[in-house]
Amino acid sequence: MDFELTDEQKMLKDVARKFAEKEMLPTLREFELKRKINFDLIKKMGETGFIGIHLPKEYGGSGLDYVSSVIVWEQLSWASWTQTLVSLGHGVLAGTILLHCASEEQKKKYLPPLCKGEKIIAVATVEPNAGSDARAIETKAELKGNYWIINGSKNFISAGNIADYIIVLAQTDKSLGPKGMVLIILDKDTPGFSAMRNDLIGDRAGDIANLYFDDCKIPKENVIGKVGRGLQNALKGIDTARLFISAGCIGMAQSCLDWSIKYAKEREQFGKPIGGFQLIQEKIAKMYAEISSIRWQVYYAAYLKDKGLPHAKELSAAKWLSSELAVRASEEAIRIHGAYGCSDEYPVAHHYLDSILSNILGGTSEMHKLTIGRELLGINAMY
Ligand SMILES: Cc1cc2nc3c(=O)[nH]c(=O)nc-3n(C[C@H](O)[C@H](O)[C@H](O)COP(=O)(O)OP(=O)(O)OC[C@H]3O[C@@H](n4cnc5c(N)ncnc54)[C@H](O)[C@@H]3O)c2cc1C
């Protein structure tokens, strides 16, 4: 067992941290307050090789293993989980699906511009009546001649409003259940498609949208993977997204700890730094102990994924624990900063708002507990 990062991983960690400090943190507040996306940042991330970091070099990616990739996500999310998600999330979700399921022609068309940050591809599975239960989707895809006709709507889609393309999960035949599902990619300019920004409590410098499909006519060849395999293929992307989200949560928690230590040494009350009080030290110690432990769970899930080994319960444990840790750590960081922590003056309040969202996307904590239960007991509590 080797707990040491390789020289390359140390170098990557350093590059990503410097990027977070230099390119993200100084302008974050401005973009958060305006609720705007920093498109320059997405471009720079593309130039640096962060988008599609885990995708093969032949398609424009950086070809890194999962452990190295999560180290990068952790460092970038140290500045902003939202900006990391809106800049890199599509490379993870859409990129993974395309890599594993698309035809060679589709990979060559979509992956290089995605990795460069020139094109954004959202993935839309969740609907008003189908959240955790993806089998319940109602968006319909009907094959008429050489075209699919798509009707329905999708909710809470990352980068849905700014995407150039959308990969949609649709049902071709309700009687087949999940075996009737298909993934189809469509252009944002397709007549009948519309997107509406959905402002959430966090994600202030990001983009979440509800999408509407009204008789969208899509060429037959825009199917990604096989008809009937849509849900399994979407889950390939979601599995990778869970890992990167978990890494981002560790980054948020670490940031909360780092800023809390700094503040606790500077802020004086009762004639001494608040860090000198045992009750503040307990908060700092607890944050440190939890972050160090759960970080290893995330790295372990990445390691298993790198080896191609089963990792469902390990990744579910990582996602559940890291996202809830990010909420706890950011809450404690706000308490340590007092009223200043509730403002945007210090870089902790935005982690609190974002971390609550991290509990929900990529599967809620409850779903991950049920996955662990299923793996250990061999009993599926959901279906
Ligand atoms: C920031 C953000 C980004 C997102 N990005 C995308 C995206 O890019 N693409 C996309 O398709 N979707 C996206 N989503 C949607 C996300 O995947 C869903 O919100 C998530 O799957 C949960 O679905 P829901 O919100 O409908 O909650 P529901 O499934 O309705 O769940 C509500 C509550 O009930 C609990 N629950 C449900 N079933 C059970 C059960 N069997 N046992 C116990 N508890 C249960 C849940 O855990 C939760 O607490 C995003 C969401 C957020 C917040």
Residue nearest (by alpha carbon) to ligand 1 atom 45: 366
Q: How far is the CA of 266 from the centre of ligand 1 (A)?
A: 40
Q: How far is the CA of 133 from the centre of ligand 1 (A)?
A: 8
Q: How far is the CA of 127 from the centre of ligand 1 (A)?
A: 10
Question: What pLDDT, on the 0 to 100 scale, is given for residue 244?
Answer: 98
Position in ligand 1 atom list of the atom nearest CA 370: 42
CATH dotted code for 121-228: 2.40.110.10
Q: How far is the CA of 361 from the centre of ligand 1 (A)?
A: 6
The CATH number for 232-377, chosen from 3.40.50.150, 1.20.140.10, 2.102.10.10, 2.120.10.30, is 1.20.140.10
Out of 204, 360, 365, give the residue to mutate to test ligand 1, the one with the largest number of ligand atoms within 8 Å of its CB. Answer: 360
Position in ligand 1 atom list of the atom nearest CA 154: 11
Question: What pLDDT, on the 0 to 100 scale, is given for residue 1?
Answer: 84
Out of 161, 249, 364, give the residue to mutate to test ligand 1, the one with the largest number of ligand atoms within 8 Å of its CB. Answer: 364
- Residues in the ligand 1 pocket, defined by CB under 6 Å: 123-126, 131-132, 156-158, 203, 208, 357, 360-361, 364, 366-367, 382
Q: How far is the CA of 40 from the centre of ligand 1 (A)?
A: 30
**Predicted TM-score (pTM) of this structure:** 0.97
Question: What pLDDT, on the 0 to 100 scale, is given for residue 383?
Answer: 86
Position in ligand 1 atom list of the atom nearest CA 124: 11
Question: What pLDDT, on the 0 to 100 scale, is given for residue 2?
Answer: 87
Q: How far is the CA of 1 from the centre of ligand 1 (A)?
A: 36
Q: How far is the CA of 231 from the centre of ligand 1 (A)?
A: 16
Residue nearest (by alpha carbon) to ligand 1 atom 44: 366
Q: How far is the CA of 357 from the centre of ligand 1 (A)?
A: 10
Position in ligand 1 atom list of the atom nearest CA 203: 1
Q: What is the pLDDT along the chain (383 residues), one digit of tens a residue?
A: 889 999 999 999 999 999 999 999 999 999 999 999 999 999 999 999 999 999 999 999 999 999 999 999 999 999 999 999 999 999 999 999 999 999 999 999 999 999 999 999 999 999 999 999 999 999 999 999 999 999 999 999 999 999 999 999 999 999 999 999 999 999 999 999 999 999 999 999 999 999 999 999 999 999 999 999 999 999 999 999 999 999 999 999 999 999 999 999 999 999 999 999 999 999 999 999 999 999 999 999 999 999 999 999 999 999 999 999 999 999 999 999 999 999 999 999 999 999 999 999 999 999 999 999 999 999 999 88
Residue nearest (by alpha carbon) to ligand 1 atom 24: 131
Out of 129, 132, 211, 351, give the residue to mutate to test ligand 1, the one with the largest number of ligand atoms within 8 Å of its CB. Answer: 132
Q: What count of residues does the chain have?
A: 383
Which residues does 285 contact at the CB level (< 8 Å), separation at least 6? none
Give, in words, the CATH class of 7-116: mainly alpha
Question: What pLDDT, on the 0 to 100 scale, is given for residue 221?
Answer: 97
User: Do 121-228 and 232-377 share a fold?
Assistant: no
Residue extents of the structural domains in the chain: 7-116, 121-228, 232-377
Position in ligand 1 atom list of the atom nearest CA 122: 8
Q: How far is the CA of 261 from the centre of ligand 1 (A)?
A: 34
